[in-house]
Amino acid sequence: MSVHMAYEVRVLRGAGWRVEGIFDDETIAVAAAKKVEGRADRSPVVVIQEVYDAARNHLKSRSIYRSGGDLSAHSTSMVLPFPKAAAPRPSAIYKPTRRPPRAASSKTSAEIWPWLALLIGGFVMIVFLLMYI
């Protein structure tokens, strides 16, 4: 069972919530939210705990900290949409196809020997020419 937990610090900017930071520890996330809350613009701040269960492909969110600002005065919703996607089925997972075995070479060793002898003979002749020039 694989469960992942994260804490998001969200700030209300204009018409929507902007993620200011993502943390693994609740105390650090709340401290960051209080630091953001102390800014001059006094925007509402929320810390959301998100628990994702990978085995069930389920996400659970809850608010663990809200700033002292009036959140109800803003007309936007607190919930950010999270895309719901079905878990991939095991049969739908990509499996690479195997290559077919290589066919035997069309050339036999009897056809290769004359060419090999010609190549080696040419190399030997070039070496002798370079030695005596």
Confirm whether 60 is domain-assigned: yes
Confirm whether 24 is domain-assigned: yes
Q: Which range among 6-10, 54-58, 63-67, 128-132 shows the weakest confidence by mean pLDDT?
A: 54-58
Integer Rg of the chain from CA: 34
The whole-number average pLDDT for the span 48-73 is 81
Distance CA 46, CA 29 (A): 10
Q: Which range among 40-44, 67-71, 109-113 shows the weakest confidence by mean pLDDT?
A: 67-71
Higher pLDDT, 6 or 54: 6
Note the pLDDT tens digit of each residue in 34-47.
Answer: 888 887 677 889 99
Note the pLDDT tens digit of each residue in 93-109.
Answer: 666 777 777 766 666 66
Confirm whether 103 is domain-assigned: no
φ/ψ of 64, rounded to 5, equals: -110, -15
* Total count of domains within the chain: 1
Distance CA 31, CA 8 (A): 12
Confirm whether 21 is domain-assigned: yes
Confirm whether 132 is domain-assigned: no
Confirm whether 46 is domain-assigned: yes
Confirm whether 58 is domain-assigned: yes
The residue segments making up the domain with residue 37 are: 3-85
pLDDT greater than 80 at residue 76: no
- Tell me the pTM: 0.50
Q: In this structure, what token pair is assigned to residue 133?
A: 């020039």
Confirm whether 23 is domain-assigned: yes
